[in-house]
Amino acid sequence: MKGNIFYAQSGGVTPVINATAAGVIDAYQKNKDIFDKLYVGKNGILGALKEELIDISKESKSELKLLKQTPGGAFGSCRLKLNDFKKSKKDFERIYNVFKKHNIKYFLYNGGGDSQDTTNKISKFFKAKNFPITCIGLPKTIDNDLPITANCPGFGSVAKYIATSTLEASLDVKSMCQTSTKVFILEVMGRHAGWLAAAAGVIKTKAGDPPHIILFPEIAFDQKYFLNKVKEATKKYGYCVIVASEGIKDKKGNFLSDSGLKDSFGHSQLGGVAPVLSSIVSNKHNFKVHWAVSDYLQRAARHIASKVDVEQAYKLGLSSIAYAKKNKSDIMLTIKDESNKNNYKWSIGSTKLDNVANVEKMLPGNYIKASGIETTGACNRYISNLIKGENYPSYDNGYPRYANLKCKTIKKKLKSYKL
């Protein structure tokens, strides 16, 4: 099916989302006889709605080569949820008109659960219009909460950052705990699933090693139990290191850090759980407490990316073109774990978009110890496979050299659209 490709990045970015883009571009370059142009949406699906299409052929080849080692979303991303056809009919019609006008026959959307939902809805809308289009979702989320796929690109690198940061901060606190900070709290992302908080568990090799407490969204926060464990750790080891997921809730299901606001997807905006926990500890125990929020640092830290993560992200991009050549539609590509007892092995597979759209994968019960504040061996083995290997970017003048794209858009053919 001859036509143009539209690729776009969606949602919160990752250290390796551009590696997937690099894979798409590299595979496209080798298949120009099958496809026409490759366009990238400027700022995700907004690029389709605003008819802002970036022509990859206009970019510098030397800068495109740096994509694989560049964090952030090189073409811009967005958080925009397309609702059902009745509520968002104008938006779907607009995307249809833009795609039709620019002869776009392939839609590759790189994102998490909400993004897969968007891909699924666009596919269904175009089918109702009898317009042939191949829709393929490319997984991406540091939260690692997409179902079916064994893991999500972005998670491995962020897990490596969290494990490393926890280890380094722990050594700092341990060295000063006799006369200074007794308790250190690191807040990590993870609204509903505790994968990122669990990542810190891989550095714990024996009793007494940090982190002493991990707080998961899957386990209801018990303040009395928490305070007792903090006191117990400081008494035994002299200090206490805590890693807390931003989405921990009390027994009534309320976020400890709910700000009362909503984001564009309708999700509760969280105001920071680390300072809340710090206040709880400070008010009960006479300990000096320090806290940190990894926030954007964790998902932008390409300098410490996992080699496995980079390879998987890139391979997904390459594979999307292979699937598009076969007109495989209404699917999300997946990572299949084919490990044996001694070696970690993986391959690329696929699943129907209906299986993943708006579905979250939580930490399995056997990944959290009965204490509710530690990871199990099974969890640590799973995460260890994903953080192995280094893939450092090239450096210039002492800091990483990242891609600097022009992102110039092509001439519009339709009237402007008001969102």
Collapse the DSSP code of 404 into the 3-class scheme (helix H, G, I; strand E, B; otherwise coil) and give the result. Answer: coil
**Residues 6 or more apart from 245 whose CB is under 8 A from it?**
187, 188, 189, 190, 194, 196, 197, 215, 216, 217, 273
Give the whole-angstrom CA distance, residue 335 versus residue 312. 8
Which phi-psi region, left, alpha or beta, contains residue 208 (left: φ > 0; alpha: ψ -120 to 50)? Answer: left
Contact 391, 307 (CB under 8 A): yes
356, 375, 357, 354: which is closest to 366 by C-alpha? 375
Among 223, 222, 226, 152, which Cα is nearest to 189's?
152
Which run of H or E residues covers position 109? strand 104-111
Active site residue 91: no
Sign of the CA dihedral 285, 290, 295, 299? negative
Check: CB of residue 246 under 8 Å from CB of residue 258. Answer: no
User: For residues 51 and 417, is the Cβ–Cβ distance under 8 A?
Assistant: yes
Residue 21: C-alpha distances to residues 103, 138, 261, 319, 333 (Å): 21, 10, 33, 11, 14
Q: How many Å separate Cα 389 from the centre of its chain?
A: 19
Neighbour tally for 176: CB within 10 Å: 14
Cα–chain center distance at 173: 29
Q: Would you give the DSSP letter of residue 395?
A: E
CB 110 within 8 A of CB 140: yes
State the Cα–Cα distance between residues 306 and 154, nearest whole angstrom.
9
**Residue 198 has which token pair?**
């669990």
CA atoms within 13 A of residue 351's CA, in its CB half-sphere: 15
Helix (H) or strand (E) holding 172: helix 155-176
Cβ-in-10-Å burial (0-12, 13-18, 19+) of 204 comes to buried
> Residue 328 is which amino acid?
K
Q: Which of 117, 143, 145, 309 is catalytic?
A: 143
Give me the active site residues, please: 143
